Amino acid sequence: MRFPTLLSLVREHNILFIRGFMILFLSCITIRLNFCISSIPSSLKTLPLEGYINFDEVGHAARDFGNRYRYHPMAVVHPKSVSDIAVTIRHILQMGPRSQLTVAARGHGHSLHGQAQAHGGVVINMESLKVPEMQVYPGNSPYVDVSGGELWINILHASLQYGLAPKSWTDYLHLTVGGTLSNAGISGQAFRHGPQISNVQQLEIVTGKGEVLNCSLEQNGELFHSVLGGLGQFGIITRARISLEPAPAMVKWIRVLYADFTAFTRDQELLISAENAFDYIEGFVIINRTGLLNNWRSSFNPQDPVQASRFKSDGRTLFCLEMAKYYNPEDTDLANQEVEKHLSHLSYIPSTLFLTEVTYIDFLDRVHVSEVKLRSKGLWDVPHPWLNLFIPKSQIHNFAEVVFGNILTETSNGPILIYPVNKSKWDNRTSVVIPEEDIFYLVAFLASAVPSSNGSDGLEHILTQNKRIIEYSERGLIGVKQYLPHYNTQEEWQDHFGPKWEPFLQRKSRYDPLAILNPGQRIFQKATNLLMTTATI
């Protein structure tokens, strides 16, 4: 009887020893981890920067235009030079995978889902980067060299002094170059010139290794194409060379309405394939919007005021085709003739033709006027649960029937844009993912939510609608892709990229091996294993 008792004592002694060892081991890890975390700020403080790093005023870097996600960084770097960005990234890289520090480049903070945020990491304030000084190069193939943190509105003002302007735009110009080029940059000129990423000649990139590399079609071509539309996963854009073209002085801005979706899309597709037609083509959806034409009268003139005053929507869903013709004053007669000729081929409701003439800069910066009004009413800094989709031409009618006919009951929460673009104007070597068909549509649900509302204008209601639209698109349609994509799992990202996923993984491993860059996209987590492989990114 004594032997079992002795054996039990030995076992109990061993168990207590193992427990004590584990407690001591975990305590050492905790102490070491706490020491590492507490030492991070002091190590960052020693960085030899021309600019400065702030550990206190970081709250602004935890917000964005979407106004739904808030992840506070540990620090915000305000770089004065490209070297400041490279030094910061190299320092974090050298700390290895144990530090957990990540880096996010933040431009004007117009992201929607916290993509420019870095929880407990370092945010690079790209608007502080003012080098190189913007310089326009006129000539046979004009271009402008700009910082990745420069706003497009500033590029417009600078290039117009030489009678030049970039070819492709976004609807809102108070965005940074690096921000839009990391996505695509699309507006009503994309059918002709492609997105903004199709109009870039050169880039300067700081990779996830802290390397500063110049890239173009001829030099570091893989990195060049990877970064364009690459969602900030391969490097930070610190300089870009943007193609320019002669800028017009004036714009004929036209809106017409359709009650028939088939006629609406047929005319849009006709115009994007026509020569010398319009320079800008977009459209938007109008559901249960009364008094719409009266709202337009303050800035647009009806061609036939009497007929326009008699127009009644009768609760129908309407589709607005929006067009712009660029011209110079000396070519006014020719521009009028071309506008009249192309309008004569369209099947819009005759009484709904509205026209106005504005300067080129006023047309391009038109959204900023709305921003000023919304800010004055306190309606700008609200949640923006936007959803942007690329819909193949073959699927657009089924999409419209279900979404505009059943899921949505009104469009009072914000505009719904819909317009076609030509796939031939997009470079498939870039990282952006688009449908395979020759023509596809951008459909953008640009809603603003009332924070305190539980009704149809509340955040939860709009998110529920978005979810229904996404589920229908993924289940019932073929080839639909998100623009400005947002997913929560790597499996969803893999489905999004499709055949591009493996090259995307390989490039991530090559240019950002520890997955330091832009964690807010939620594609990768920072590596926690020194033996990095593609499979463990």
Q: pLDDT tens digits, residue range 109-132?
A: 999 999 999 999 999 999 999 888
Is 503 in the same domain as 461?
A: no
Is 170 in the same domain as 262?
A: no
In a domain, 434, yes or no: yes
Is 97 in the same domain as 114?
A: yes
What is the C-alpha separation between 445 and 387, in angstroms, rounded? 5
In a domain, 4, yes or no: no
In a domain, 451, yes or no: yes
In a domain, 531, yes or no: no
Asked if 516 contacts 89 with a C-beta cutoff of 8 angstroms, the reply is yes
Q: Which of 78, 119, 157, 171 is catalytic?
A: 171
Residue type at position 375 = R
Is 447 in the same domain as 368?
A: yes
Query: What pLDDT score was predicted for residue 35?
Result: 40
pLDDT at 19 over 60: no
In a domain, 536, yes or no: no
Asked if 208 contacts 232 with a C-beta cutoff of 8 angstroms, the reply is no
Is 377 in the same domain as 499?
A: no
Is 359 in the same domain as 327?
A: yes
Is 277 in the same domain as 211?
A: no
In a domain, 26, yes or no: no
Query: What pLDDT score was predicted for residue 527?
Result: 73
Residue 28: band (very low, low, confident or very high) from pLDDT cuts 50, 70, 90: very low
218 is catalytic: no
Q: Which tokens belong to 19?
A: 């427990």
Is 171 in the same domain as 275?
A: no
Is 372 in the same domain as 492?
A: no
Residue 106: band (very low, low, confident or very high) from pLDDT cuts 50, 70, 90: very high
The owner of tokens 């279900």 is 402
Query: What is the bridge-based pairing of β-strands 103-106 and 122-125?
Result: parallel
Task: Spell out a b/e string for 386-421, using b for 16 or more CB atoms within 10 Å of the CB, else e.
Answer: bbbbbbbbebbeebbebbbeeebeebebbbbbbbbb
Distances in Å between the Cα of 251 and the Cα atoms of 167, 204, 324 are 15, 34, 6
Cβ-proximal residues to 488 (8 Å cutoff; 6+ apart), any chain: 522
Cis preceding linkage at 132, omega within 30: yes
Of residues 122, 109, 116, 106, the one with CA closest to residue 43: 122
Query: What is the bridge-based pairing of β-strands 235-246 and 301-302?
Result: unpaired
Give the pLDDT confidence of 385-444 residue by residue, as tens digits.
999 999 999 999 999 999 999 999 888 899 999 999 999 999 999 999 999 999 999 999
In a domain, 301, yes or no: yes
Give the pLDDT confidence of 223-279 residue by residue, as tens digits.
999 999 999 999 999 999 999 999 999 999 999 999 999 999 999 999 999 988 999
| Domain span at 192 | 35-247+487-526
Mean pLDDT, range 356-379, rounded to an integer = 94
Is 436 in the same domain as 515?
A: no
Is 86 in the same domain as 201?
A: yes
Beta bridge partners of 147: 239
267 is catalytic: no
Q: Which of 145, 282, 322, 512 is catalytic?
A: 282
Q: Where are the beta strands (DSSP E) in 328-415?
A: 354-359, 387-392
110 is catalytic: yes
The 10 Å Cβ neighbour count of residue 67 is 18
Q: Which tokens belong to 121?
A: 């990491």
In a domain, 535, yes or no: no
Is 341 in the same domain as 270?
A: yes
Query: What pLDDT score was predicted for residue 15?
Result: 54
134 against 409, higher pLDDT: 134
Query: What pLDDT score was predicted for residue 84?
Result: 98
What is the C-alpha separation between 172 and 365, in angstroms, rounded? 7
Number of folded domains that form the chain: 2
Query: What pLDDT score was predicted for residue 315?
Result: 79
Asked if 326 contacts 279 with a C-beta cutoff of 8 angstroms, the reply is yes
Residue 339: band (very low, low, confident or very high) from pLDDT cuts 50, 70, 90: very high
Query: What pLDDT score was predicted for residue 57?
Result: 93
The owner of tokens 């193939």 is 141
What is the C-alpha separation between 110 and 93, in angstroms, rounded? 27
Give the pLDDT confidence of 291-315 residue by residue, as tens digits.
777 777 778 999 888 888 888 877 7
- What's 102's domain CATH number? 3.30.465.10
- What's 450's domain CATH number? 3.40.462.10
Phi, psi torsion values for 295, nearest 5 degrees: -65, -30
pLDDT at 176 over 60: yes
Name the average pLDDT for the chain: 91
Q: Which of 91, 108, 110, 193 is catalytic?
A: 110
